[in-house]
Amino acid sequence: MDPVLVTFSIYILGMLLIGYYYYRQNENISDYFLGGRTLNPFVTALSAQASDMSGWLLMGFPGAIYAGGFNGMWIGIGLAIGTYLNWQFTAQRLRRYTEIVDSITIADFFENRFKDKSRALRIVTALAILIFFTIYVSSGLVAGGLLFENILGINYQLAVVLAVIIIGLYTFLGGFLAVSWTDFVQGSLMVLALLIVPIALISIRGGLSEVWGQIASINPDLLNAGKIVSYDFAAEAKWVTTSDNMSFISLISLLGWGLGYFGMPHILVRFMGIKSAKQIPVSQFVGVTWVVVSLIGAVFVGILGIIAAPEALENTETVFLVLLQKLFNPWVAGVFLAAVLAAIMSTIDSQLLVSSSALAEDFYKALFRPSASQKELLWVSRLAVLFITVIALFFALSGGTILDIVAYAWAGLGASFGPAILFSLFWKKTSRNGVLGGIITGGVVVIIWKNFFAYTGLYEIIPGFFLSALVIYLISYFGEDPIPEVVDEFERAMKPLINE
CB of 289 to other proteins, least distance (A): 5
CA distances from 66 to 105, 307, 317, 368 (A): 38, 10, 8, 50
CB of 216 to other proteins, least distance (A): 4
For other proteins, give the closer residue by CB, 70 or 136. 70
CB of 354 to other proteins, least distance (A): 25
For other proteins, give the closer residue by CB, 293 or 391. 293
Alpha-carbon span 66 to 126, nearest angstrom: 37
For other proteins, give the closer residue by CB, 71 or 138. 71
- CB count, 10 Å around CB of 455? 6
For other proteins, give the closer residue by CB, 291 or 335. 291
DSSP designation for 155: -
For other proteins, give the closer residue by CB, 85 or 152. 85
Burial grade of 329 (CB within 10 A; 0-12, 13-18, 19 or more): exposed
416-430 exposure pattern, b = at least 16 Cβ within 10 A, e = fewer: bbbbbbbbbbeeeeb
Q: Which amino acid is present at 324?
A: L
CB of 50 to other proteins, least distance (A): 18
Alpha-carbon span 48 to 154, nearest angstrom: 32
Q: Answer for the pair 98, 258: CB distance below 8 angstroms, yes or no.
A: no
CB of 32 to other proteins, least distance (A): 31
Contacts for 425-429: CB closer than 8 Å, 24+ residues apart:
425/90, 425/93, 425/94, 425/97, 425/493, 426/93, 427/476, 428/482, 428/487, 428/490, 428/491, 429/476, 429/477, 429/481, 429/482
Taking the alpha carbons of 398, 403, 406, 408 in that order, is the dihedral positive or negative? negative
For other proteins, give the closer residue by CB, 208 or 448. 208
For other proteins, give the closer residue by CB, 5 or 240. 240
Alpha-carbon span 318 to 295, nearest angstrom: 17
Helix (H) or strand (E) holding 242: strand 239-243
CB of 267 to other proteins, least distance (A): 16
Alpha helices in 205-279 (DSSP H): 208-218, 248-255, 265-272
Number of H helices, E strands in the chain: 21, 2
For other proteins, give the closer residue by CB, 133 or 300. 300
CB of 210 to other proteins, least distance (A): 8
CB of 45 to other proteins, least distance (A): 10
CB of 295 to other proteins, least distance (A): 7
For other proteins, give the closer residue by CB, 216 or 249. 216
For other proteins, give the closer residue by CB, 83 or 431. 83
Query: In 3D, which of 25, 5, 52, 330 has the Cα closest to residue 186?
Result: 52
Helix (H) or strand (E) holding 110: helix 106-113
Alpha-carbon span 246 to 284, nearest angstrom: 32
- CB count, 10 Å around CB of 25? 14
CB of 80 to other proteins, least distance (A): 5
For other proteins, give the closer residue by CB, 329 or 499. 499
CB of 220 to other proteins, least distance (A): 6
Binding region for other proteins (CB under 8 A): 70, 73-74, 77, 80-81, 83-84, 87-88, 208-210, 212-213, 216-217, 220, 223-226, 278, 281-282, 284-285, 288-289, 292, 295-296, 299, 498-499
Query: In 3D, which of 8, 50, 479, 58 has the Cα closest to residue 267?
Result: 50
CB of 6 to other proteins, least distance (A): 36
For other proteins, give the closer residue by CB, 53 or 392. 53
